[in-house]
Amino acid sequence: MDCVVKLNISYILKVLIGKLVSDSDSWMDLKTSEEFNLWIMLEDGLKDRIICEKQCMGCLDYHLVNRIFYDFIENIKIINNKNTDLINCLSDKFSLKNEEDPVSLAFELISNPVYVERQLDEKAHHLYKQYVKGVEQVHSALAVGYCQQRMTELHDIIISNSHFGEMQSLSYEDFEVSPTLNTFYLDQNFVSKCVNDKNFMLQVENYKKRSKSIFLSSAYLIEDGIKMNRVFLKSYFELLFELTNNILIAKQDRHLKFFKEQIDSTVERVILWLETTRAAEGLKLYKSLYNNYAYPMFNRKSNITKTLNKDIKVFFADIDDDFHPESFDMEFNSHNIIHGIMIGKSYQFTIQDIKKGHVTFDSDFDCMNKIEQLSELMDLINFETESIKDIKKIKSSYQDTEHLKHAWKADYFITDDVKLIKRGEYIYALLGIKTKFLKISDFKKTMVEFYAH
């Protein structure tokens, strides 16, 4: 019975840690929340805290999450004890003498650094800034530990579902595309535009017939549809069939090819992998959160990130060719840290390749793999990423990467996602891929120009 209680405790504690990681100012609200009170009640009623003989998930998860949380509290206590004189001084000024909770005290004292500094003499400014930095580092360590734990959980789900590859039903028919035809890979926003605008859909259908163009999807476009409101789902699938004639780009073995497949078969396969996909989306979220705390120099608000988003080619061109481990300072040497990251992750391209603007690939599989690795690097340095608070968009960016891994086989990729376009254009340029990105407005101009001739 205690094993089940431990599993419930770890679940509640992960909820509490997740909220604290997202907002350090939420500690006071969390302390009075139902989850916090339930956690204390379950902890008080727990009789056996040791790991059981079976080493069950409840016991292992409980000990891992508890260690993350109690290490955080213990480290806050250590920082407070090292700064006793400063804390006593501030507690007197702000009447916080009766605050017994070290975490509440720490977060209250750093909640408004500008105001607090004005209450101190100049000699104490440096001590206070060091204290603020120390508390923030402890909070970051909590976030990193929490994200690593959640990523491990999600990796386990993905690995445990790997056998689905043997279960899935593939009903592909090879489809030969004439090199004289224009091929357009579609994003979900283009299909939604067609669903909501009948006149536009008629124009697209007419253009497709007259220009002898082919419109393409992938399983990830079906996946985008499944996540939509079910009210629109039937229309979405019917229209997707009408647009693409069931032609899609898909991976078979180590090749990326054009196929024909009934949408029902594709949907069946997408549903089979739905849990795995959700885990992959969650992994994308926690990686973003992890990067935010593990690599603060690439925070979206940092000057470095603002600079590289203005011109990423110039940013990489300025990086030294060699890695200097003796100056491996995450805070002061952002260029050097990128060297270290790329070496640690064993990317199949070098910093010199990126500086030269030329990353080679020798097969479809290799190209897809390098698109994924380049996308991961872009995520880490926050090149055209979503706000860390926009959870839905971060999760959906998993599909964005998958679209990039498939769309390069087409002549054009139609999407209105500006961030996806900028990332895609940069990654495709590095790989020498000729696929052009079109906004819907650009595609309309293409139709107009076609009829003008």
Cα dist from 125 to 68, 96, 111, 234, whole Å: 31, 19, 15, 63
What pLDDT, on the 0 to 100 scale, is given for residue 418?
96
Nearest-5° Cα angle at 321, 308 to 386: 25
What pLDDT, on the 0 to 100 scale, is given for residue 162?
86
Of the pLDDT bands very low, low, confident and very high (cuts 50, 70, 90), residue 325 is low
Residue with tokens 């860390």: 388
What pLDDT, on the 0 to 100 scale, is given for residue 317?
87
Nearest-5° Cα angle at 227, 226 to 232: 70
Residue 122: burial class (beta carbons within 10 Å; 0-12, 13-18, 19+)? exposed
Work out the average pLDDT over 287-302.
Answer: 90
The model's pLDDT over 331-357, given as tens digits with 9 standing for 90+, comes to 445 667 788 888 888 899 988 899 999
Work out the average pLDDT over 148-159.
Answer: 94
State pTM to two decimals: 0.89
Work out the average pLDDT over 213-236.
Answer: 81
Q: Which residue has the higher pLDDT, 407 or 192?
A: 407
Burial readout 247-280 (b: 16 or more C-beta within 10 A, e: otherwise): bbbbeeeeebbbbebebeebbebbebbeebbebb
Q: Which of 155, 217, 146 is nearest to 188 (CA)?
A: 217
The model's pLDDT over 347-389, given as tens digits with 9 standing for 90+, comes to 999 888 999 999 999 999 999 999 999 999 999 999 999 988 8
Token reading at 392:
């839905």
The percent of residues in the chain predicted with pLDDT above 90, rounded, is 58
The model's pLDDT over 78-121, given as tens digits with 9 standing for 90+, comes to 999 999 999 999 988 888 877 789 999 999 999 899 999 988 88
The model's pLDDT over 29-80, given as tens digits with 9 standing for 90+, comes to 999 999 999 999 998 888 877 888 788 888 888 899 999 999 999 999 999 9
What pLDDT, on the 0 to 100 scale, is given for residue 330?
46
pLDDT higher than threshold 70 for residue 228 = no
pLDDT higher than threshold 70 for residue 230 = no
What pLDDT, on the 0 to 100 scale, is given for residue 334?
63
The overall average pLDDT reported for the chain is 89
Between CA 280 and CA 289 the distance in angstroms is 14
What pLDDT, on the 0 to 100 scale, is given for residue 328?
46
Distant-in-sequence, close-in-space partners of 213: CB < 8 Å, separation ≥ 6: 181, 182, 183, 184, 207
